[in-house]
Structures are given as C-alpha cells and as structure tokens.
Structure 1
Amino acid sequence: MTARFFVVREDILPEAIVKTIQVKEILKSGKAHTINEAVERVGLSRSAFYKYKDGVYALAEIAREHIITVAMDLEHRSGVLSSVLGVIAAHDGNLLTMNQSIPLQGYANVVLSVDVSGLSKEIEPFIDLLKQQQGVRNALVIGQG
C-alpha cells in the first residue's frame, strides 16, 4: 500500500500526536538530552512516542530541509526553459513553483523552487549542470532550507 500524507490542523490532532511532535522539538533544540527526559516534560509515555515518532513531522521540518530556490537568467528563445526543466526531472528534482519575468534585452529572469529530496546529485554539481545548459547565462541558489 502506498503511503498517503495529509496536512492536518494541530487543534484536531489526538493529544499523543501533538505531544510526540513536542518531544521531537525538545530533543532537537537540546532542551532535553534523552527521550526519557523529553517525554516526562510533555507528559507522554515512551511507548506512545516510539509508536508515532517515525510517522509524525511538523510541516515546516519537512519543507525546510528539501527545497531550494534558484534564480536564473535565460536567453529568450525556444527550448531553453524546457532543457532546464528536463535537467531537474532527469536528476529526480521536483519543480514546485516557477516565476518568470518578461524578457528584456533577450533574457528573462526565472526563479524556481525545487524539491531536491530525491536529487541524484549534490546541490553544487546540480547547479553547475543547470549553468551548462545552452541559453542559461547564470544560475544561483538564492534560498535553501
């Protein structure tokens, strides 16, 4: 069975789920050094924490770690953007958003948000590959989470 994911408002989640997320945040922040210490702080049993810990994540935690924003200057001619998108797809990137300016003096500025969680290369070589595409004048990571 394929895993399904949902975005759910915190106030309708069962208490054990909310407390599991709180425990993970406490551990990540260093306010507690052991799972025992963290679960005691929030009033959750260790067994409940272990039951949910691998299936519950704060949305910001997931999104922050796998998305880059790339600004590019592309020549205004047929196929340039298509080749860039092809490179992203070929390396298991997933385009999330794209904003493109009107071409001026033969170039358009394009800003892409890309989910790189499945990227088959490191970020820098991937950006270098984008820069090597014909018609790409520049590519720069302007945001990364």
Structure 2
Amino acid sequence: MSKAPNYYIVDAEALPEIFRKVVDARRMLDTGEAETVNQAVQLAGISRSAFYKYKDAVRPFQDMLHGRIVTFQIMLKDEPGILSHVLNLFAGSGANILTINQGIPINGCAVVTVNAETSGLEGSLQELLARLNGAEGVLRGEILAG
C-alpha cells in the first residue's frame, strides 16, 4: 500500500534551482513555447533525467488549487434511472461533473464517459470507482485518464 503524499508550501526562492527549472519546463510544454520535452529542457537548462525525476512532484501552488480532471468510462445497462443514479454518486462524492457523453445503447448496454473535476472529492478515486462498480445497473467502470 502506498503512503499518501505530504505537501508543503515553500517560497520558490527557498527551493533548489532545479525545481524551479522543472516547473518552467512544464510551463513551456503546457503553453506551447516548447513542442517537445527535449526542447523544453534545453530552454530551461536542465537534463531530461532531472525533468522526468521531478516533473510529477513539483508544481506551482496555483496548479494545486485547480484540482484534477479525471475521465471515467462506465458501461451501464440500458434501463431508466441508472444514469441518474450514477450521476448522483458523483455528486454525493464531491466530484464536479464537467462533461457527460453517452453512446447509443447496443445490446442493452450503453457506454458513458464522464469527465469530472475531483479537487473536492470526499474520499479517494478508488473509493468512488468502487461505489460506481457496485451500483445497480453498472456493468463496468474504469478510469481512462487523470
């Protein structure tokens, strides 16, 4: 079982320069200033290995405030009220639904893709996924991205 991460708020000036450069390289990739990791690390003046070592561990505080967007794919039985019940599970968990896409039911099943912002999630993603998979009418639920 993995340990939950501990977070600290630290003035950027107190951080080692490599952390600030990794954040700068990520920003360049996100804004399109750099098209590839190679280009971003060259512009930031760091190695690829340093970038990959810290890229998921260091980010600006304002990024932490925006939460995470997670994409769920859920296969439902094609019966009245099941989608409504699934959406209520999201709402009850504190997830903010951003988009819902439902395919046309085939053979009595419909695939629904839900994008949700999870910064307000009460509990873990695994707990939400377990509740979804245990809900009546849900044949399968999984996280596609996030």
TM-score, structure 2 as length reference:
0.58
The match for 2:78 is 76
* 1:56-95 equivalences in 2 (<5 Å): 57=62, 65-95=67-97
CA distance change for structure 1 residues 62 and 143 in 2, over 3 Å: closer, same or farther? farther
CA distance change for structure 1 residues 106 and 120 in 2, over 3 Å: closer, same or farther? same
The match for 1:100 is 102
- Residue 22 of structure 2 is aligned with which of 29, 47, 71? 29
The match for 1:43 is none
How big is the shift at 1:28?
Answer: 6.3
Aligned residues: 95
CA distance change for structure 1 residues 30 and 96 in 2, over 3 Å: closer, same or farther? closer
Structure with larger Rg: 1
CA distance change for structure 1 residues 73 and 28 in 2, over 3 Å: closer, same or farther? farther
- Residue 125 of structure 1 is aligned with which of 124, 127, 132? 127
Distance 2:74 2:93 in 1: 18
TM-score, structure 1 as length reference:
0.58
Which structure 1 residue ranges, 4+ long, deviate > 2 Å from structure 2?
Answer: none
CA distance change for structure 1 residues 94 and 28 in 2, over 3 Å: closer, same or farther? farther
Deviations 1:52-99 (A, max 9, x none): x86xx46xx765x51100001001011100111101001111100011
Give identity over the alignment, percent: 28
Where does the alignment leave 5 or more consecutive residues of structure 2 unmatched? 1-18, 25-59
